[in-house]
Chain A
Amino acid sequence: MKKVTIDATDLHYTPLNQQIRKAVREGTDHIVLDNVMGQRFIADGLKGSVVIEIHGVAGGDLGMFMRGPDIRLFGNADHAPGNTMDAGSIAIHGSAGDAVAHSMRGGKVLVRDNIGYRGGIHMKQYVDKCPVLVIGGSSRSFLGEYMAGGLLIMLRRFADTLEIERGIGSGIYGGEIFIRGNVPDSCLGVGTKKDICHGDDIARIVPVIHEFCETFSLDPGIFLNSEYTRISPASARPFANKYTWE
């Protein structure tokens, strides 16, 4: 086990990433970043299996295009952590901004608290790659917009943020969204289908819920004994009937 600690104080993101890449090249399997203060693009395009423990606030595009690393962020993230991510995981011990897991095609993004607008937008899956986004709290509007694949779970664990915002799954054409509790029809986006799930219907997401709770030391009980609203595409070809030839 080779561990390296990098002090990110006053460090621009490019030299920071260079140090991370160097550590990975040298076979480090645990990198600790201290004093991170909004540096963007941490682990952008990074390949390999390494744990990256971040203390502080991560800037935009954390783990963008990343393939493999396991990021544990002890703090909040700015927008789009997991953007177009390929494999690996990001666990955010806090909240995150807009477009979390934008176009993610594989791996896992777990957010302990809340996220901003357009979470999970255009996530997609292919063969054995199925991205997973779990949000412990709530999200703003347009959750899972244009979703083309993958699994998105929102647990709404805070009693004071149970409000659901509009445009959920707008234009969705693949994948599925599970939201704990009821979702009013007025919050559903165009082209969605809603089912109520409990018991066996949620068996598929139980392992993911366990993983989420273990990651953040939460009690899974309440999440396992709840009713979920499953939102999925009404059609895999939402635009097929929109066009005619010249």
Chain B
Amino acid sequence: MSIGTYPPKFGVRVDPEQCMLCGRCVENCSYGVFRMEEGRLKVNSRNCVACHRCLAMCPRDAITIRERPVDYRSHPLWTPQVREAIFNQAKTGKIIVAGMGNALPYPVIFDHLVLDACQVTNPSIDPLREPMELRTYIGKKPSRIELVKRGNGEVDLLTSLSPNLKLETPIMIGHMSYGAISLNAQMSLARAVSEIGTYMGTGEGGLHESLYPYQDHMIVQIASGRFGVDIDYLERGAAIEIKIGQGAKPGIGGHLPGEKVNQEVSMTRMIPKGSDAISPAPHHDIYSIEDLKQLVRSLKEATEWKKPVFVKIAAVHNSAAIAAGIARSSADAIVIDGFRGGTGAAPRVFRDHVGIPVEAAIASVDAKLRQQGIRNEVSIIASGGIRESADVAKIIALGADAVYIGTAALVALGCRVCGTCNRGVCAWGIATQREDLVKRLDPAIGSQQIINLVHGWTDELAELMGAAGINSIESLRGNRDRLRSYMLDSALMDVLDVKSVGA
């Protein structure tokens, strides 16, 4: 091989002064970095992915991990990543697959938006003293209601209302399938959302039996492969989501490799053990926006119009026009998944280069639906790259009703964003089906960590709203006047409909 080996991505050092040869690193590393040979600890740095499992389990802080311990000649265009992708493809001739979200250093729009706070002229609100309304309803809102007065002074509602989901916080957990993540990871999320009073997505992997007790807080997904989909599954969900696209890989389908289809995954997806689960790029029964209406209504008809139906699309150039079509399809909510959205596995070229940021997509979708007078027809859910409560506040001010978090929830379970979910040997028991690894994640502890995270964010959101003199999430929604742009260009400011700082 004329290319030879190339520099290891990480250098692992064990301080012999600190190390007591307890072997916990050997036990914990599922990537094969450590081994014990004749009473001595040997390290193979090349296998390291920086998942930090060894670090977290080392009782003596003996391990250090450095990224890129060997320098390439620095060059702004020919980055180490670019060079290594070429090496890889020169050797294999294949499509490069990677886990997690977009790994290119595009500017983050969230970090160029600042929030407002009250000073003197209007008072801020103290959330400790005043009630703050964070409850959010997802679904259609009537454009008008008809009431009739009865003789005894009571009023009857004549308008029939569409089913809505009631969220105690505008934070939901996005769709990560059983298969992509472990059952213990899904169980942790399910227990947490039930406790918090919010919802999570099942992903396109069916609903495992052990999650039935939490089904009232699960949004069941129907994607192009229709894995795990039958009438019971649709009836179990609190809502049904049609997945058209995913922010991490817009325009393409998904292939769950046969290695990840063990007995339990096979049962839940209803496919033979060890077989690939191939989700085609489009839904082959819907080839147009008119057909989408057909699929939305088929799901409503199958469940007797009792469940809200969501449609999830990846944020792409013409998201706003697509959303306007979805809003007219009888759907109850649109999920816009930005190009920073995570994934278990995606071709690197899609992960890094296809789609647009969620901030711009949400702003343009909200604006388009308002212009057309149909904003009330659907709720807007933002996902893909929501990292903290400030992002939640900003995206709601740009027009979203609620958010889905994915990666953030996994980080709350221990994920270090090492980006090797596709390998299936996640040392944290999250993105794996290997029994010994899955056992590392205790759903009792995991769910509490998720509850803590969402609780912390929700409190912060209430504080941010209070500081801005807002006591209801409704008043923050689409309230772009409470945002200012810091160093964004004017074209983007027009899209977001925000003024500059100082203006």
Contact = CB atoms under 8 A, between A and B. Distances in A.
Given A122-B280, A244-B89, A105 B270 contact: yes
Interface residues of B, number: 43
Contacts of B266: 126
B42 interface: no
Contacts of A40: 294, 297-298, 301
Contacts of B376: none
B230 A105 contact: yes
Contacts of A17: 301
B276 A243 contact: no
Contacts of B303: 45
B301 A126 contact: no
B33 interface: no
Interface in A124-159: 124-126, 129, 145-146, 148-149
Interface residues of A, number: 50
Contacts of B225: 103, 122
Given A84-B226, A126-B272, A149-B272, A245 B285 contact: no
Q: Which of B89, B230, B297 has the most CB of A within 10 A?
A: B230
A148 B301 contact: no
Contacts of A55: none
A86 B97 contact: no
A245 B97 contact: yes
Interface stretch (A61-69, A160-168, A176-184, A218-226): A61-69
A245 B302 contact: no
B348 interface: yes
Given A41-B297, A45-B302, A124-B271, A148 B97 contact: no
Contacts of B420: 245
A244 B92 contact: yes
Q: Which of B302, B305, B419 has the most CB of A within 10 A?
A: B302
Interface in A87-135: 99, 102-103, 105, 118, 121-122, 124-126, 129
A61 B258 CA distance: 31
A66 B298 CA distance: 11
A124 B276 CA distance: 12
A244 B96 contact: yes
B230 A65 contact: yes
Interface string B68-111: 00000000000000000100110010111110000000000000
Contacts of A99: 284-285
Contacts of B235: 45
B231 interface: yes
Contacts of A243: 94-97, 347
Given A44-B301, A240-B257, A126 B226 contact: no
A99 B224 CA distance: 13
A236 B276 contact: yes
A124 B229 CA distance: 12
B231 A146 contact: no
Interface string A1-43: 0000000000001100110010000000000000000001100
Contact of B94 (A60, A118, A149, A242): A242
Interface of A: 13-14, 17-18, 21, 40-41, 44-45, 47, 60-61, 64-67, 79-80, 83-84, 86, 99, 102-103, 105, 118, 121-122, 124-126, 129, 145-146, 148-149, 171, 173-174, 236-246
| 9 shortest interchain CB distances as A-B pairs | A45-B302, A246-B98, A103-B226, A244-B94, A244-B92, A41-B301, A243-B97, A126-B270, A44-B301
